[in-house]
Each structure stands twice: as structure tokens, then as C-alpha cells.
Amino acid sequence: MSRVLVLVRHGQSEWNLKNLFTGWKDPDLTPLGVEEATAAGQRLKALGVRFDVAYTSVLTRAQRTLSLILDEIGQTDLPTVRDQALNERDYGELTGLNKDDARARWGEEQVHVWRRSFDVPPPGGESLKDTAARVLPYFEAEILPRVLKGENVLVAAHGNSLRALIMQLEGLTGEEIVARELATGVPIVYHLDETGRIVSKDVLSG
């Protein structure tokens, strides 16, 4: 298999568990998150794909997820690139707040708009549109060319940075991608042709 692109959202983090807006803060994985990342590696091992390079963010939860996956697939020496271009969306003033507390402060409707609109950023933070403007140029310059030349690439990142990539790959609108839920620790496997068109897509949910 060649021209394989695998996207994995990090396993559950300590702040996911506490229902906090995380953004660029750097909590580690929970024990469940470790299990999810390990299971992701086991599913990829069963698939039999060997990777040429991995990409991840500068945040611990994504890096540790990647490390656990590489342990499982026996590629702990895989060349790995870490870049903040793949970081989670910056939630600005919402960062570190419990989502229920944020609703109490700003109202249910306003928080829903910040979380689920494509182009409305929270105070001091990024919208998904802003996140895509950061992620996609990096993807198109650094990651996609390696896939197109026949390499297999693994990306361990975050819900919103991966939404930006999926929007581009699948040709989705902003409204469609904000409605797309990404489970933690579940690999999405794309096979691309030489033009970058999707030949097949598999979600390895166990």
C-alpha cells in the first residue's frame, strides 16, 4: 500500500475528561486516553501499513498518542515532525473553562455559536476558519507532497486541526465540517491517487 494518509485524533486528555476547553494548553492523556492510543496502534498494526514519516503538534497529548501508536506498530524510530501548525484550535478566553461554566457566563446560544460555527471566533481565540488558515498551508506544503510521491504518512493531532484537513480532503463546506464528530484515538485511513483524490476511506473504530 502506498499513498496512505492516516489521521488520528489524540486519546482522551485530562481536560477532555473534565469537560474543559483545552486549545493550546498542554494536559496529558488520561489512562483511558492511553488505552485509546494503544488500541489505535493495534488496529493500524493489523492493517499492515508501514509508515515513512509522522507528523504531530507541539502538544503533549498528540505527541504521546503518536508515541504509543509507534510502540504498537514497531516503528519507534519513525522520522517525526512536530509543528505548532497542527496544534488544536486556540479557544482564547474560553481556554481552561468548564463548558457548563462558559454557558453560564455567556449563555448557551453564544457558546454554541463559538463551538459550532465555522467563522465566529471566541474572544481572543480562533474560529475553525482561522484554524484551517493555519493548518492547510502547512498540509499542502509539507504533508500532502510526501503522500503524493508515494509515501505513507501518519498524522496525530487534534479535533479541529484534523477537521481542517478532512474538510480539504473530502471537499466539505464549513457547515458540513463543524458537524463532523471525530472520536478520540480512532484512525481514519485514506488511500489517495496521484492527484490527491480519495480512492478509499476507512475508519478503524474497532
Q: What pLDDT is recorded for position 139?
A: 98
Q: How many domains does the chain have?
A: 1
CATH number of the domain within which 88 lies: 3.40.50.1240
Distance CA 15, CA 132 (A): 23
Active site annotation includes 140: no
Question: Of 36, 72, 88, 126, which one is the catalytic site residue?
Answer: 88
Contact 74, 116 (CB under 8 A): no
Other CB atoms within 10 Å distance of the CB of residue 49 = 17
Cα Rg of the chain, angstroms: 16
Single-letter residue type at 149: K
Strands (E), 73-185: 80-82, 153-157
At a CB cut-off of 8 Å and minimum separation 6, what does 173 contact? Answer: 167
Angstrom CA distances, 61 to 30, 56, 140, 145, stand at 9, 10, 24, 26
Helix, strand, coil distribution of the chain in percent, nearest 5: 45, 15, 35
Q: What pLDDT is recorded for position 206?
A: 73
The set of cell numbers assigned to 44 is 493500524
Contact 72, 42 (CB under 8 A): yes
Task: From first to last of the 206 residues of the chain, give the pLDDT tens digit.
Answer: 789 999 999 999 999 999 999 999 999 999 999 999 999 999 999 999 999 999 999 999 999 999 999 999 999 999 999 999 999 999 999 999 999 999 999 999 999 999 999 999 999 999 999 999 999 999 999 999 999 999 999 999 999 999 999 999 999 999 999 999 999 999 999 999 999 999 999 999 97
Distance CA 114, CA 176 (A): 16
Distance CA 3, CA 89 (A): 27
What is the domain extent for residue 47? 4-203
Contact 50, 75 (CB under 8 A): yes
Contact 179, 26 (CB under 8 A): no
Q: What would you measure as the largest C-alpha separation in the chain, in angstroms?
A: 51
Partnered with residue 200 across adjacent β-strands are 191
Active site annotation includes 191: no
